[in-house]
Amino acid sequence: METEPCDETVDAPQTPESVKRGVDVIKKHWRHAPNGPGVYRMIAESGEVLYVGKAKNVRKRIASYTRLAGHVNRIARMISATTSMMFISVETETDALLLEANLIKQLKPRFNVLMRDDKSFPYILIAKDHDAPQILKHRGARARKGDYFGPFASVWAVNRALNALERAFLLRSCAQSFYDNRTRPCLLFQIKRCSGPCTGEISIDDYAELVREARDFLSGKSRNVREQLAREMTEAAERLEFERAARLRDRISALSAVQGAQGINPRSVEEADVFAIAKDAGRFCIEAFFFRAYQNWGNRSYFPRADATLSEAEVLDAFLAQFYQEHPSARCVFLSHPIEDDALLEEALTARLGRRVELLAPQRGEKRELVEHALQNARQALGRKLAEDASQQRLLAALGAAFGLASAPRRIEVYDNSHIGGAQAIGAMIVAGPAGFMKAHYRTFNIRSADIAPGDDFGMMREVLTRRFARLAKEGDKEQDGDAFPSKPDLILIDGGRGQFEVAREALRGLDVEGVAIASIAKGADRNAGRETFFVEGREPFRLPPHDPALYFVQRLRDEAHRFAIGTHRARRKKEFTKNPLDEIAGVGPSRKRALLLAFGSAKAVARAALSDLEKVPGVNKATARLVYEHFQRE
């Protein structure tokens, strides 16, 4: 049965005009909404997607927005801002769930729950593409043939596990080129972290046995592996082979270190993902634990962006759909709160994993203990986050007062340049706000203006600020909601003296930028921290007291900008050092490049070669030879 839009004329006089306009827009689109599963988008006048939602019956779901009253503030604001809608029909509700999560990740609507950290997890890879397989850390697409074990919650967790596994199983971690060119064992063999297959210190068959043991251990057969090693150690001791017994003892000790350092380890749960959510002061924290092979492989805290009126279960429901859009699930997923779409998400994860996935909120037993442990960590992490944010707010307020701002800045941008004699010049921008350093907003600018003389710091700063604020003016300030992080800064900090300050002020004036305060930081005569001079518009140059918290905060901001600029400049310089002139020739691929280098020995020799010699290279046709020849002639 169709649900007709509701006309609550009784409440109309108390309803804001903006909500009425939004309801009228939704009613018009309601008539064309699909009568089946799908995804809908609510769109603002600027074209920004406000909200992405899914429904088993989109038409019925849209009808719920056509009431003039009874909405919570979040929904009322969303309706008020809506000027258009879009619909996508799908075959099943499961397809709608997956499409909704994908669109939320791409579009980042401000009225949806947003997963802030979607970085991939590291894995341990035991490769299968060599007679002596390599063990290594892996992140990203699984393009290499081998066995992947994970996920591990952090790089620190996987590095710790790798160090212990190398001691326990003596598998090589070196790259293939390093392995192929060894004539004697490397240092890892000497410190008993590798069995030395590269130089024949161990036979390939014996090395394969070590690989099998490592795979068994990471697959959950850790007890069998330890018992086997214990038997071998006992037998070696009985035969008076004390050196071999000592080596086996060290391997058993390393395995104990892997399991003992994991913290809580389940006894009856072989493989599970555990999620617990805590809420305090309108903020949410989701703690994720990963258990594989009866071992705890680490945990990670997430702080999703969500409206304070939402419940823990609603936020957790939205979070999980986005989380598993990128990450494979375990066979069991344990939750601290039951969610509405549990059966739907279970069906989607089962289809993706190719085996049954169980999704539940356990109430007793060891499974509940794992959830309670995660919930305790979520509460502690949220408490630390709130304390850090409160401290950050105090620093921002102190900085605003020091520079004469009307209120504490919500977004601070700090700029610095880095170059050596003008070569590989880059400009760097770091961003700080109430949540600390906002690394997702950091930007670098390759200085490309031909009018800037090498080493002209003023010209570089002018170009960086002009490009930054010209683009901001083109895109517009994306902050539409009071809780969203603004894209326009309240305060700009420049690493430099009065000259840099004047350049920054002129650049912003030329672009008609208003409402942005500018300050520059000049180091003291001896470049000592604590003796900085500040330049701010409308004030004489001044210093802050030596122990002022605002001064320490400014120093942290400046040092972070300097670190980011220097690091980016060094990376670019390294890339320039290793760049091959043949890389610049469009149409010359890796195989032809390799053929040219094998024929002539170096890129310089290729550049000096005659056209007739280039045409004689095996695998290089006449057209490519002429392309290479003409490129170097132009150079």
Instruction: Phi first, then psi: give them for residue 558, nearest 5 degrees.
Output: -65, -45
Average pLDDT over residues 155-172: 81
Q: Which residues pair with 292 in a beta bridge?
A: 295
Residue 264, pLDDT above cutoff 90: no
Query: Residue 624 — very low, low, confident or very high, per pLDDT cuts 50/70/90?
Result: confident
Reduced 3-state DSSP string for 217-258:
HHCCCHHHHHHHHHHHHHHHHHCCCHHHHHHHHHHHHHHHHH
Average pLDDT over residues 151-166: 79
What is the number of other CB atoms lying within 10 angstroms of the CB of residue 44?
18
SS3 340: coil
Structure tokens at 420: 């050596």
Structure tokens at 160: 């710790």
Tokens 């160090």 found at = 163
Q: What pLDDT is recorded for position 274?
A: 93
**CA 216 → CA 174, 209, 250, distances in Å?**
22, 11, 19
CA distance 539 to 403: 9
CA-atom Rg of the chain in angstroms:
31
Order of strands, sheet of 358-360, starting from the edge strand that comes earlier in the sequence: 295-302, 283-292, 272-280, 332-335, 358-360
Amino acid at 614: L
Tokens 């600018």 found at = 445
Residue 541: CA count within 13 A, CB half-sphere: 15
Locate CATH 3.30.420.340 in the chain. 412-478+485-576
**DSSP designation for 262:** T
Residue 259, pLDDT above cutoff 60: no
SS3 137: strand
Average pLDDT over residues 332-342: 92
Q: What pLDDT is recorded for position 117?
A: 66
**Domain 272-384, second-level architecture:** 2-Layer Sandwich (3.30)
Amino acid at 149: F
CB 285 within 8 A of CB 303: yes
Locate CATH 3.40.1440.10 in the chain. 12-107
Order of strands, sheet of 38-43, starting from the edge strand that comes earlier in the sequence: 49-55, 38-43, 84-89
pLDDT higher for 223 or 490?
A: 490
- Which fold is adopted by the domain 12-107? GIY-YIG endonuclease (3.40.1440)
Residue 19: CA count within 13 A, CB half-sphere: 21
What is the number of other CB atoms lying within 10 angstroms of the CB of residue 545?
10
DSSP string, 90-109: -SSHHHHHHHHHHHHHHH--
Instruction: Phi first, then psi: give them for residue 538, nearest 5 degrees.
Output: 85, 5
Instruction: Phi first, then psi: give them for residue 279, nearest 5 degrees.
Output: -130, 135
| Residue 494, C-beta contacts closer than 8 angstroms, at least 6 positions apart | 414, 415, 461, 500, 501, 504, 518, 519, 520, 521
Nearest to 459 by CA among 496, 407, 404, 414: 496
Q: What pLDDT is recorded for position 497?
A: 86
Structure tokens at 130: 């060599």
Residue 116, pLDDT above cutoff 60: yes
What is the number of other CB atoms lying within 10 angstroms of the CB of residue 240?
7
Structure tokens at 62: 């849209």
Q: How deeply is 610 buried, as exposed, middle or buried, from its count of CB atoms within 10 A (0-12, 13-18, 19+)? A: exposed
CB 332 within 8 A of CB 370: no
pLDDT digits (tens, 9 = 90+) for 300-329: 889 998 888 889 999 999 999 888 887 888
Conformation bin of residue 538: beta by default, left when phi > 0, alpha when psi is -120 to 50: left
Q: What pLDDT is recorded for position 12?
A: 39
Locate CATH 1.10.150.20 in the chain. 581-634
- Which fold is adopted by the domain 581-634? DNA polymerase; domain 1 (1.10.150)
Q: What pLDDT is recorded for position 32?
A: 86
Average pLDDT over residues 357-362: 91
SS3 89: strand
Structure tokens at 629: 């020849």
C-alpha torsion angle, residues 357, 363, 364, 367 (rounded to 10) = 30
Chain center to CA of 352? 23
Instruction: Phi first, then psi: give them for residue 360, nearest 5 degrees.
Output: -155, 160
Could you list the beta-strand ranges (E) of 516-570. Answer: 517-522, 533-536
SS3 600: helix
Structure tokens at 548: 């002022």
Structure tokens at 104: 């939320």
Strand pairing report for 332-335 and 358-360: parallel
**Domain 412-478+485-576, second-level architecture:** 2-Layer Sandwich (3.30)
Query: Residue 431 — very low, low, confident or very high, per pLDDT cuts 50/70/90?
Result: very high
**CA 451 → CA 75, 170, 459, distances in Å?**
52, 58, 8
Query: Residue 261 — very low, low, confident or very high, per pLDDT cuts 50/70/90?
Result: very low
pLDDT digits (tens, 9 = 90+) for 540-562: 888 888 788 888 888 889 989 98
Structure tokens at 28: 């018009």
Strand pairing report for 38-43 and 49-55: antiparallel
CA distance 101 to 53: 9
pLDDT digits (tens, 9 = 90+) for 29-68: 998 888 899 999 999 988 889 999 999 999 999 998 888 7
Nearest to 135 by CA among 151, 159, 152: 159
CA distance 617 to 601: 12
Q: What pLDDT is recorded for position 256?
A: 60
CA distance 500 to 43: 42
